[in-house]
Chains A and B, each alone.
Chain A
Amino acid sequence: MSRKGFTIWFTGLSGAGKTTLARIIESRLKGLGLRVEVLDGDIVRTNLSKGLGFSKEDRDTNIRRIGFVCNLLSRNDVVAIAAAISPYREIRDELRQQIGVFVEVYAHCPIDVLAERDVKGLYKKALAGEIKHFTGVDDPYEEPYSPEVVVNTDVELPEESAGKILARLEELGLITRVATESYNEDDEEEVRRRLESLGYV
């Protein structure tokens, strides 16, 4: 039996692919008939956490708020997917305790690859000192010690990383990717009719 609500927590540096993966996982899980909500760090900062800055305190508040919503959703049978840098280990572990069914996904990509790609143009500015408190440049990022999944987005295609995450969710018993109803007498009768129509019975 698969559990309906749980939280998938993406952590990793800016540009590591958290949002991309969250959206793929969202659509795959919806395909399984689950209710899914994505809380994207960039979007949350424009409403739920509007006005918060990038000090450690503000970052912690932001993450706690996202975690709070994830918890509400999870216990109401929704799969909550958070995609936020969430650089501090302590807060992530605090949320793990709070939420219970918490799947931490570390989107890992070496900083030089990220700076090279620089999809949002932020690394260039941070390295030039135009943006302060930029995680991985002049602000710390604490890698998780034992995340449920590590995806290496510098070498994996997004579909490949998504496949790893889904396989892990299946392993954890959170999703069922095989049809739950089994082969039954109705099937058997239909099989007989089909075989008959081709002269095999």
Chain B
Amino acid sequence: MQRTIVIGLDGTPYSLLRRFVDQGIMPNAAQLVRGGTLLQMDTSIPDISSVAWTSFMTGAGPGRHGIYGFLDLVQGSYKIFFPNSKHIKADKLWDAAGRAGRRSVVINVPSTYPAQPLDGILVAGFVAVDLNKATYPQELVPKLREMDYRIDVDARKIQQSHDALMEDILKTLERRIEVLLHLFDKELWDLFVGVITETDRLQHFFMDAAPEPGHRYHSAFVEFYRRIDGFLGAIAERVRGETLIIMSDHGFTPIVKQVYLNRWLADNGYLKLKDNPKSIEDIQAGSVAFALDPGRIYINVRGKYPMGTIDRTDARRIADEIKRGLAEISDGGVPVIKAIYERDDLYSGPCIDAAPDLCLQSVYGYDLKGAVHKQQLMDREVFTGMHTQDDSTFYINRPAESLVVARPNIVDIAPTVLSSMGISVPQSMDGHSLLVV
């Protein structure tokens, strides 16, 4: 029976991987590419990890799995909550594998915390807090501790220095790779899913170093990817006829500016907030719309929200008006918004009621944010990288002729994995297997 390996590189852009392969920086990846197919992939909208990884693991869009962001509102309120694994409404890839009697080892996939039982083992990724709650079964915990496994990079190190953060990124990567290979070798599995998060962390803070050879951290950035290549080589040499997929949940590009949508809504009379607001919970009566990170806009509909002012019948007209206004945001004449989608353009399924009314995509360089305390529409913070929706990575160790499309979507991965394992794809998946039958 065919086994399958999925290696996730959180946030690794297709374009960057392709460049490093071509430049000889990643010889193992180059070798893999020669024996398979490397494609640019679209990810979820919004293109953030919680939504994208949930789409990966369920093979479905947010309308079905119910995760629209790292934070969301408790139904019928403005109260913020952080969705976790228990809020995912659709079956996961490894649930389908388990039903077929196949065992999965799932390590560090974001949005799987707290760990839920499965046929196999799971160590949850971002935003896991406690290793006990992140691990199923529990008997694995002592070994993980013994190996000094790190759930995540401590991004707060940036407050000390860039060097301190870089050191933590490298150390966490080293621990991660050691544990991934250990479990790969020691555990029994039919499906192995292992994710590296450090790629994303590096790029949030050092993305500007990637294109500039003169940048202080350019060589560190390149060296980091050499280590990723070493890991890919270690996996490649362990492949014994398995299907190997390497993927990322989104791409990355350097930030020009961060753009605060709630500031725009407030400046244009659509949103009223208390003084010194901390979150959208500080919304005031008379608000027409509000935004949540990254580019989600909600119309403050009466009956749906406690201080809703807009009649359901009017919501469409208001959304159109806001859409026209947002489309005109520019930075010194450069347009900032690339596309504005309406709810039904993007989502369908049982979780659609929680969907934003509008979802914005920015042009490369302008990172859309939901912060409420900003006094200006745009600024720069410590972050130098932002996510991209259309530059994720998809690699499979099969020739291009064996694939049905040249441009996959992240929801296609779960069906592809299942069909590569000879397991029928559940109805709940929106995606389609990429493999020619």
Q: Which residues of A approach B to under 8 Å, CB–CB?
A: 28-32, 157, 159-160, 163, 166, 170, 176-179, 181-183, 186-188, 190-195, 197-201
Contact = CB atoms under 8 A, between A and B. Distances in A.
A177 B135 CA distance: 9
B115 interface: yes
Contact of B117 (A177, A192, A194, A198): A177
A98 B87 CA distance: 45
Contact of A163 (B141, B188, B201): B188
B254 to A, nearest CB: 15
Nearest to A166: B137
Contact of B129 (A166, A191, A198): A191
Nearest to A29: B139
B127 A194 contact: yes
A178 B155 contact: no
Contacts of A159: 187-188
Interface of B: 48, 70-71, 82, 84, 86, 103, 114-117, 126-127, 129-130, 132-133, 135-143, 152, 154-156, 158, 187-188, 201, 204, 258, 279, 293, 369, 381, 383
Given A199-B381, A200-B48, A200-B70, A177 B137 contact: yes
29 contacts: A31-B138, A31-B139, A31-B140, A31-B141, A31-B142, A159-B188, A163-B188, A170-B137, A177-B137, A178-B136, A179-B138, A181-B133, A183-B114, A188-B82, A191-B127, A191-B129, A193-B156, A194-B126, A194-B127, A195-B70, A195-B71, A197-B155, A197-B158, A199-B381, A199-B383, A200-B70, A200-B71, A200-B293, A201-B279
Contacts of A197: 154-156, 158
B129 A187 contact: yes
A201 B71 contact: yes
Given A191-B127, A199-B369, A200-B71, A179 B82 contact: no
A4 B184 CA distance: 31
Nearest to B367: A199
A21 to B, nearest CB: 14
Contacts of B117: 170, 177-178
